[in-house]
Amino acid sequence: MIPSSAFLVLAIVLFVLGVAAFFVKRDLLTQFMAVEVMLNAGSLAFLAAAKQSAKAEAQVIVVFVLTVAAAEAAVGLAIILHFFRRRKSVRTEDIDGLKG
């Protein structure tokens, strides 16, 4: 029987890796994937916490996280596509329209 703290540690490691990937990578698409990793770490933490009390609520939360992730992916990829059409690039260095 694996204690739920092991899953919690996995969720923490995954979240930190997602944050690191978000800051290290320089293209919008991969940064967006890093955000998805962070969302998944969040739902894993919910499930790990729910294992202690054997409740089904965590899976409901996972469904909501999934829905938000799907909506976010659709809108975000549309924005990236739109940006690529204008600038022919997806690198964050090229997004400096608001820079003083």
Partner 1 sequence: MIWIIFGILSFLCVGSVAAMIFSRNPAHNALLLVLCFASLGGVFGLLDAPFAAVVQIIVYAGAIMVLFLFAVMTLNLKEGQVREKRKRIPAVAAVLAVVLLAELLVVARKAFFRAAESVPAGAAAEPMGVGQLLFTRYLYPFEITSILLIAALIGAMVMAGTKEPR
* Least gap, CB of 36 to partner 1 (angstroms): 7
Q: Which of residues 38-67 bind partner 1 (CB under 8 A)?
A: 40, 43-44, 47-60, 62-64, 66-67
Nearer to partner 1, 23 or 97 (CB): 23
- Helix 28-53 crosses helix 57-87 at what angle (to 10 degrees)? 180
Using the rule CB under 8 A, is 90 a contact of partner 1?
Answer: yes
**DSSP SS3 for 91:** strand
Using the rule CB under 8 A, is 95 a contact of partner 1?
Answer: no
Contacts 24+ apart (CB under 8 A), 32-35: 32/73, 32/76, 32/77, 32/80, 35/72
Using the rule CB under 8 A, is 87 a contact of partner 1?
Answer: no
Count residues binding partner 1 (CB under 8 A). 75
CA 20 to each of CA 4, 13, 41, 88: distance values in angstroms, whole numbers, following the listed order: 24, 10, 13, 26
Q: Which of residues 7-26 bind partner 1 (CB under 8 A)?
A: 7-10, 12-21, 23-26
Nearer to partner 1, 1 or 98 (CB): 1
